[in-house]
Structure 1
Amino acid sequence: MSDYSIRRYRQSSILGLIGAAKKLFPDEQLKISHSILDGVYCELEDSLMSSREVMRLEETLKNWVLADQPISFESNRDNSYHCRLDNLEIKTLYPPLNRSGSLKYFQLIHFPPGFILLFPNANHPETLAPFVPPEKLSSTFSESQRWLENLHLTKVDDVNSIISADGSNDLICLAEALHEKKISSIADRIYEHRRNVRIILISGPSSSGKTTFAQRLSTQLRVSGLRPIALSLDNYFLSREETPRDANGQYDFESLRALDLPLLAAHINALIHGEHVETPIFDFVSGHRSPVGKPLHLSPDEILVIEGIHALNPSLIPSLDRNQMFKIYVSALFQLNIDDYTRVPTTEVRLIRRIVRDNQFRGIDPERTLAQWESVRRGENQNIFPYQEEADVMFNSSLLYELNALRPYAEQLLHLIASNSPHYQTAAHLLTLLSFFSPLDVTSIPFISILREFLGGSIYNV
């Protein structure tokens, strides 16, 4: 199932949920809050939901599916969609399916104070993954949501209004101050455990701003008196001929088995015991290590910082004492919604970031970025998301003004996608999404901002 088909399936399920909630709770307002695992977290704005109420809601939704009801919709001029469901009229970003009978796979899970509408896994569209409560991820979402509510900034139009009133600088300062405060608190927490922690491990999905985060965290650690030393997992790749292959016979560089795990474990154990090692330098052109490595030694006031997609996987360094590691998960958990029913998918925010960055710094056109995205997402589902709850702390790298800032850059690139391209639908959808955000002048964005990793102008080596 293509990403576009998955989005239509999920959009249709949400429409059915809205109808079921309006039928059961006519005086309540359902809010589709944010994505979480393979689903979306939802709640009633003014009431806590009991497990019995969630079960009734699921049964009502199932009856709608079994009845195979038609779903009426039409395209708007702005490429959004106007859907009719019983007496409801709802604006959506994706077109729904034509009938409800196709929505065979879903589940409602009580997750106080609301519930999660669980969709089929993207890689296995006819199955529902076992549900493991994402306590830390949910807590991170809730923390960000409370912050926005305190500022009375929960919808895209709230931010647009500030921009139109010449308040862009205040908006930028607020968002960046939150990041700095959070990064500083993470550094303080690491410092408190400095007697035990020798390694900081940072992971997160594509375009989360991990590189800038790692450097800003390192700055805060130095302020505290610690000396962070970066160790790149990329230098521990196996030689090309030893690299595992995927089901299509292609080199699988995202597999944990593509790394020389015994050598990595040996070097880390030696370093934390005060020994000298020569870390490898991998030559990506030849596919082999350089003949001469890099000498490395870890003094008592130094701490290793390792960033990579496998950093939270317990199998990366299984022999190391867990108390010697501090694990951080970084992701762009975008919180602003267009309205109560229309959320902005965090995945699409990251895709827009990546389109702009690939073009700015990697010479990759938007067509190629879109073509690679399905593979990137598959790698995230296999290697990153299953281990996110391993983190000691999570950092939300999203900025409430970022799609306003990215819009002019991304729009220019997305308009290059031809109408006969297999990625035209995705490009058109992203353009529709961006149209809800008023453009923002980027000149006031600080050079240490995570967004500079994508726009350019960062003071860090990213």
Structure 2
Amino acid sequence: MYHTQSFAMLEKCSTLREAYHDFKDSNLTVHYFDGTTKIFEAPCPVRLLLDKYLNKESKFAIVGALVNNELMGMDELVFTNVLTIAPVLLNTSIGAQIYRRSLQFLLSMAVNRVFPKRRLVIGHSLGSGIYFEFQEDPIESLTEDEIQKIQAEMELIVKSDFPITRRRIAWTEAVDHFTAIGQEQTMMLVAQHNRPYVPIVVCDGFIDIWHGPHVGSTSILSQFELKLYGTEHGFLLRYPRSADPTCVPEFKDMPKIFETFKESKYRGKVLGVRCVGDLNRLIGRATKGELQSYIHVSEALHERQLVAVAEKIVTCPSVHLVLIAGPSSSGKTTFARKLCVQLQVFGKQPQCISLDDFYVNRDKMPKDEKGDYDFEAVEALDLPFLNEFLLKLLRGEIVTLPKFDFKTGTRKEGKQMQLSISAIIVMEGIHGLNDRLTAMIPQEQKYKIFISALTQLNLDDHNRIPTTDNRLLRRLVRDFQFRGLSGEETLMRWPSVRAGEEKYIFPHQGNADFIFNSALDYELAALKVIAEPLLKNIRPTTPVYHEALRLLSFLQNFDPIPHKYIPDCSILREFIGDSPYHPDDH
């Protein structure tokens, strides 16, 4: 039997540093990067530890800190000695995440004050903004006047300079509270945990569930914009980018991306899985066959998309070149091979060509600002040679395929090929949507496809699942399974991957003729099985430890799905293994 006092103490603790509170010394020592040390009374809020930084003039606000490589909010308490501490500024990627999370909270707080009887539900990201909808029965149209009232209330809260703090309440209190105010998705997420408490974020009496650090005060949240958009009851919450947190960028519409998200949201509503709580409830009924049925329907919807895009391609007789592009871990390779199967069903003869074989020789390879070879730059490809090759191929001439030797850094000759009348070239690569890639090929002969994992699932009413996190977890699992990389190595490389996407892929997504959403609503529960142990192996001494903790906290919301339930032909198999489209990987 547990000692009553020890058991109560363990139930009370949310992290190791809080558990340490009961065994702490009276003081803690902080070691700063400049070599100085300072002693504080324990426990001590992060804000006091950052006093030497807060007193310095800075263009950008400090919104948190990396304490022993753990991300903490300004009001959180530190109980142990601090070996490393670094302030998190607003103009960093981490600072931008904190700002956006806090801005979502500010919006929820303002809506609660202006329209307390209306239910606000988060939708998805769209450029430099997040789409929200009011969901009530009957649905009321949202007006410009109502949007202005919400914006005015947000501005008033910002001017009031209210502190934003993290607290904990009893599990039963949280369930009762979110049930009473109609936050159905939040209530389900809370109800499926078995912890005796629930972390919340509090500001001037308004509370919401806590998913990570917030800014310390509402006064920091001065840059935002509300814009009517999409449906008659939806709008965008627009925010600044980390590169310039002093202003909201100019609005750039993305109607194709929005329509894709809208279709995915409708699908989730029809299938009854709109949030993590719905999914977990379904996983809990796996023995009744409902989970398997749901997975099969989800996969069938993917196949339906593939059939739709294949049909669009073959109904355009002038199209002979299909270009596929998308960010990392979108499932491009599996998609390309499955698309080829569907094209064959329609009587076509697809020919896959790899852009990797069209690299310039290593001595002509461009370099980045660090002096390293920039394999992701469009100039890394021999564009004149590629275009001439395609033109000859499309004219029906016999051509010799190139083969790039990555060991020697030179291009060699491969096998010969000639297209038949029914042939279609399928090319997959990051520059597929960039018009510079195939500038010499007439537009009517090309069909461009953008693929990404556009997650429609919500964590709860006011917190979405970032599509970037979905792709990162896919990559984490795939890199470990097939590339021999640890979780730490993948997380270390991810910022440069994201930078390449922002530079080379996303600016051209508007050129797509078709957008394929490769996300599967159940996949994060399946990825968790492999990803969670990888993240737990990342130690506090590594600079990506805070990111590992964030992802682990995120994955705690999902019940796991055993891989035996995943169909062999699922695009998810590209990442977890046993895919028939990737025999070389196994």
TM bin, normalised by shorter chain, reads over 0.9
Please say if 1:64 is aligned against 2:187: no
Are the structure 2 counterparts of residues 173 and 53 from structure 1 closer, same or farther at C-alpha, using a change threshold of 3 Å? same
Structure exhibiting the larger radius of gyration computed from Cα positions: 2
> Normalising to structure 1: TM-score of the pair?
0.95
* 1:110 aligned residue (225, 228, 244): 228
Matched residue SS, 2:227: strand
Please say if 1:160 is aligned against 2:160: no
**What is the distance in 2 between the residues matched to 1:182 and 1:330?**
11
Please say if 1:41 is aligned against 2:131: yes
The structural deviation recorded for 1:262 is: 1.0
The structural deviation recorded for 1:416 is: 0.8
**What is the distance in 1 between the residues matched to 2:250 and 2:379?**
25
Matched letter for residue 282 of structure 1:
F
Range that drifts further, 314-323 or 218-227: 314-323
Matched residue SS, 1:139: helix
The structural deviation recorded for 1:141 is: 0.3
> Which residues of structure 1 form unaligned runs of 5+?
none
Q: Contact 2:433–2:509 (CA<8 Å) still a contact in 1?
A: yes
The structural deviation recorded for 1:393 is: 1.1
**What is the distance in 2 between the residues matched to 1:92 and 1:288?**
53
After superposition, the C-alpha distances for 1:206-254 in whole angstroms (9 at most, x for unaligned) are 1111111111111011111101101111111122222222222222221
**What is the distance in 1 between the residues matched to 2:457 and 2:366?**
40
* 1:252 aligned residue (364, 370, 374): 374
Q: Contact 1:19–1:86 (CA<8 Å) still a contact in 2?
A: no
Query: Counterpart in 1 of 2:352?
Result: 230
Query: Counterpart in 1 of 2:270?
Result: 150
* 1:130 aligned residue (223, 236, 250): 250
Matches within 5 A, 1:14-25: 14-25=104-115
The structural deviation recorded for 1:294 is: 3.2
* 1:375 aligned residue (496, 502, 509): 496
> Which residues of structure 2 form unaligned runs of 5+?
1-90, 170-194
The structural deviation recorded for 1:41 is: 0.8
Matched residue SS, 1:293: strand
Cα root mean square deviation, aligned: 1.9
Query: Counterpart in 1 of 2:102?
Result: 12
After superposition, the C-alpha distances for 1:64-89 in whole angstroms (9 at most, x for unaligned) are 33333211114797998410123321
Residue correspondences, number: 460
The structural deviation recorded for 1:127 is: 4.7
Greater length-normalized contact order (CA 8 Å, ≥ 6 residues apart): 1
Query: Counterpart in 2 of 1:322?
Result: 443
Q: Contact 2:162–2:204 (CA<8 Å) still a contact in 1?
A: no
Query: Counterpart in 1 of 2:547?
Result: 426
* 1:31 aligned residue (121, 136, 151): 121
Are the structure 2 counterparts of residues 125 and 261 from structure 1 closer, same or farther at C-alpha, using a change threshold of 3 Å? farther
**What is the distance in 2 between the residues matched to 1:95 and 1:150?**
34
**What is the distance in 2 between the residues matched to 1:248 and 1:12?**
35
Percent of pairs with identical residues: 40
**What is the distance in 2 between the residues matched to 1:279 and 1:126?**
51
Query: Counterpart in 2 of 1:207?
Result: 329
**What is the distance in 1 between the residues matched to 2:363 and 2:109?**
55
* 2:558 aligned residue (437, 441, 444): 437
After superposition, the C-alpha distances for 1:340-364 in whole angstroms (9 at most, x for unaligned) are 1121111101101100000000111
Query: Counterpart in 2 of 1:220?
Result: 342
Matched residue SS, 2:463: coil
Please say if 1:53 is aligned against 2:175: no
Matched residue SS, 2:302: helix
Q: Contact 2:404–2:410 (CA<8 Å) still a contact in 1?
A: yes
**What is the distance in 1 between the residues matched to 2:388 and 2:218?**
56
Are the structure 2 counterparts of residues 220 and 59 from structure 1 closer, same or farther at C-alpha, using a change threshold of 3 Å? same
After superposition, the C-alpha distances for 1:296-334 in whole angstroms (9 at most, x for unaligned) are 322211000011111011221122221111111111111
Runs of 4+ displaced beyond 6 Å: 75-80
Query: Counterpart in 1 of 2:239?
Result: 119
